[in-house]
């Protein structure tokens, strides 16, 4: 993007851009990946982690920033799944589900969501040992739907992933 005037440069960056005489403030952040992981009972795996912006623990699908230029989005997701969920997933297991721009009004970073079936026996021996993740839990689709409807799950990638997966499943029936 041209005409950048940085106002803040931390892990997140804010810059001002001018276009047609108007000034815009844009948030610059890394793009990210996430995954809908399903077991053989069609339950979805969520991770519980603390989010400082909302000052509470949240349940979300596993995700990570694209902050390793040498790795493809799929490779980053494979690493995140191992770190956050202690699951051994292959790149070929991940199928694209949906891509979008979460905050299109003031940020151009993208979110790519994949889906994968997790066969039994893919669980790694060690427990989850990730600084961000407190624990993981398999949720039935009905439990997740209810948690979304009752406002217990507010994370947009998790809500969107649930509805996209449900829509794709209904379309394939």
pLDDT in tens, 7-39: 999 989 999 998 899 999 999 999 999 999 999
- Residues 158 and 152: beta-carbon distance below 8 Å: no
Helix (H, G, I), strand (E, B) or coil at 76: helix
Distance CA 124, CA 122 (A): 6
Phi, psi for 154 (deg, rounded to 5): -115, -10
Distance CA 165, CA 38 (A): 10
Question: Which of 68, 61, 84 lies closest to 130, judged by CA?
Answer: 84
pTM, to two decimals: 0.90
Show me where the domains of the chain are located.
Answer: 1-29, 31-172
* pLDDT at res. 5: 87
* pLDDT at res. 119: 80
Q: Which long-range contacts (CB under 8 A, 24 or more apart) does 142-150 make?
A: 144/44, 144/46, 147/59
* pLDDT at res. 70: 97
Q: What string of H, E and C letters represents the secondary structure of 140-167? A: CHHHHHHHHHCCCCCCHHHHHHHHHHHH
* pLDDT at res. 1: 46
Regions of the chain where pLDDT drops below 50: 1, 125-126
Distance CA 103, CA 111 (A): 10
Domain 31-172 classification at class level = alpha beta
* pLDDT at res. 132: 80
């Amino acid at each position: 993007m041209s005409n950048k005037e940085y106002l803040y440069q931390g892990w997140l960056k804010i810059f001002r851009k001018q276009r047609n005489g108007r000034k815009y403030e844009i948030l610059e952040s890394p793009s990210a990946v996430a995954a809908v992981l399903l077991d053989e009972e069609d339950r979805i795996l969520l991770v519980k982690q603390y989010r400082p912006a909302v000052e509470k623990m949240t349940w979300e699908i596993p995700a990570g920033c694209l902050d390793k230029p040498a790795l493809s989005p799929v490779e980053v997701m494979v690493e995140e799944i191992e770190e956050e969920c202690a699951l051994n997933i292959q790149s070929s297991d991940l199928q694209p589900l949906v891509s979008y721009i979460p905050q299109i009004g003031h940020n151009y970073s993208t979110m790519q969501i994949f889906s994968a079936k997790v066969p039994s026996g893919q669980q790694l021996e060690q427990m989850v040992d990730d600084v961000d993740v407190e624990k993981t839990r398999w949720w039935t689709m009905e439990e997740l739907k209810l948690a979304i409807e009752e406002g217990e799950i507010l994370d947009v990638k998790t809500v969107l992933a649930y509805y996209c997966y449900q829509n794709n499943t209904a379309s394939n029936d």
